[in-house]
Structure 1
Amino acid sequence: MKIGLSSYSLFAAMKTGEMTILDVIDWTSEQGFEHIEIVPNLGFAWEDDHLIDQVRERAAEKGIEISNYAIGANFLQPTEEDYQAEIQRVKKEVDIAHRLGAKLMRHDIASRGIPETTIANFEKDLPSLVNACQEVADYAHQYGITTSIENHGYYIQQSDRVQSVINHVDRGNFKTTMDVGNFLCADESPLAAVQKNIAFASMVHIKDFYQRPAHLNPGEGWIPTIAGNYLRSAIIGHGDIPMREVLRVIKASDYDGYVSIEFEGLEECKLASKLSLTNLKNMWQEI
């Protein structure tokens, strides 16, 4: 297992100007992470083409791999013209992933508000979502890039919906970036969901959450789940996810790829990321 960091984990430091994406790469290497996942538009943006090359070169200089390139996308568009434009935009992002030297790329595919995350809407939207994913995966194939969908954004967050998309797309280079914590946003047991989806994973995100039931609304800093419960991102090992059991499932599986720490909580982001690395390494050795 190669443990790395999502650049999103240091979003707070980039947002305030304390760090640039190049600083993030330096810091990630200095802490002993083996790879970095690049997530643009969350903390930094591609100001020009030179930055793409600078990111690739800095990672090589620091001796860490660029494991995954993760972007937002939404193939639920109001018109056919907008739908086609979004597909073409994501293909251009594939070109960026190639320039970075990444062989994995996660793109979102759809977003709906919680009241609209019904199975009826999912079944209605599925054909157009599958077509878009097929086009992007086929385009990425020329570069040897595997594209993926994350259990993310409420609408396609449950393990079964993720599997449905993967099975319908039916491409060898289309899998899932499996976030072990995000299943909680759909009120699904992370342990059960990881057991279901680890076989489909091209990338694994390790994230922890604090949980509170719907009747104990803790207020600011917490996000709602589909069922109205509440979550707050935690330092790995500090939250309520049975992390050792989740890691045991991953360790017992055939998965031998990148594992990326993702933190988005209220604690100071550098300290939280460093503690998460230490805790993850310790738990992995214990199981």
Structure 2
Amino acid sequence: MKIGVSSYSFRPLLADGSLEIESMFDWLAAHQAEHLEIATFSFAETGKEAAHELTEEAAILERLEAASARTGIPVSGFCMGASFIGKSAAERDAEIERVKRYVELCSRFGAGFLRHDVVPWSYRLEHTAEFEREFDGIADACRQVAEFAASHGVVTSVEDHGFFMNSAERILRLMHAVDHPSFKLTVDVGNFLCVDDNPEVSTRRTLPHAAFVHLKDFYVRQTEPGPGWLKTSGGQYLRGSVFGFGDLNTKGFIESVVESGYDGFVSLEYEGQEPTLAACETGLANIRRMLAEVRG
């Protein structure tokens, strides 16, 4: 396994200018990270995340390439937002073409993986009928992207992300419907909780189909403690924590990853309120320590 960090973890520092692209790579090198996974909106101006198109940011892309080459930290993959619902046929085709441009970006960076959403992250499913109505169109769009990605040596994936295309059952169903060898899953061990799936069970169910793995930890509460907590579909409350400090069975996740035989890229995703760099440093150390303990 190659242990690294998602750029999403550094988003607060990148947004306020206290961390630059170059110093982010320096930090990764100093802490023996083996790769960087890029969440495309990480470099957007605050408030402009939804409209940000990394493919159009020539200067940022050049800086990323230069910093990667200088430090030897490879870019392992890209994560992007996308939506294939609520659009006219022409708009949907345009969105498919937009996602394909990120496949080409992966190819440019020598990155073999693209995770794309299929609905907006925050969109909450209200009725099962809506999911069934949209499912075939989502699967068709994913298949078109995967077919294009295959010609570029890139594997695409959907993640247990948000509130619509989440839960082990739904993402496994989508993978089965797409039925393409270049379409797999990004397994985020914590995000299953957003729809109140048991994260340990769902992680074990989906790992055999993983192209990429995200490790994170959450504090979990049954009543709202105050501002800054995410409400799940079923009414629980979540807040990101340092990996190993929260309420999830983090060592159990790592045991499941090892037992599954997965041997690819693993990204730490930190999204808590503790100081970012200290949290990432501790999280990486905890992952390595737990991995060593599991392997004996």
TM class, shorter-chain normalised? over 0.9
In the alignment, is the contact (CA less than 8 A) between 2:81 and 2:116 conserved in 1?
yes
Tell me whether 1:101 sits opposite 2:121 in the alignment.
no
Aligned residue for 2:218, secondary structure, equals: strand
Q: How far apart are the structure 2 equivalents of 1:217 and 1:237?
A: 22
**How large is the Cα RMSD of the aligned pairs?**
1.5
Partner of 1:278: 285
Paired-residue identity, %: 35
Partner of 2:39: 39
Gaps of 5+ in 2: 45-51
In the alignment, is the contact (CA less than 8 A) between 1:223 and 1:231 conserved in 2?
yes
In the alignment, is the contact (CA less than 8 A) between 1:52 and 1:100 conserved in 2?
no
Displacement of 1:59: 1.1
Partner of 2:68: 59
Within 5 Å, give how 1:43-122 maps onto structure 2.
Answer: 43-44=43-44, 46=54, 48-111=57-120, 116-122=125-131
Q: Deviations over 1:63-89 (max 9, x none)?
A: 122111111101113311211111111
Partner of 2:264: 257
Tell me whether 1:267 sits opposite 2:274 in the alignment.
yes
Q: Deviations over 1:199-252 (max 9, x none)?
A: 010000001000001xx2111111000001100001000011111112111111
Distance change (3 Å), C-alpha of 1:52 and 1:112? closer
Number of positions where the alignment pairs a residue of Structure 1 with one of Structure 2: 285
Q: How far apart are the structure 1 equivalents of 2:122 and 2:274?
A: 27
Q: How far apart are the structure 2 equivalents of 1:88 and 1:132?
A: 10
Displacement of 1:15: 0.8
Partner of 1:142: 151
In the alignment, is the contact (CA less than 8 A) between 2:6 and 2:269 conserved in 1?
yes
Corresponding letter in the other structure for 1:159: A
Using the TM superposition, name which of 17-26 and 145-154 deviates more.
17-26
Tell me whether 1:28 sits opposite 2:28 in the alignment.
yes
In the alignment, is the contact (CA less than 8 A) between 1:184 and 1:190 conserved in 2?
yes
Q: How far apart are the structure 2 equivalents of 1:238 and 1:118?
A: 35
Aligned residue for 1:202, secondary structure, equals: strand
Taking structure 1 as the reference length, the TM-score comes to 0.95
Q: How far apart are the structure 1 equivalents of 2:197 and 2:104?
A: 35
Tell me whether 1:169 sits opposite 2:178 in the alignment.
yes
Aligned residue for 1:42, secondary structure, equals: helix
Using the TM superposition, name which of 26-35 and 254-263 deviates more.
26-35
Q: How far apart are the structure 1 equivalents of 2:64 and 2:137?
A: 34
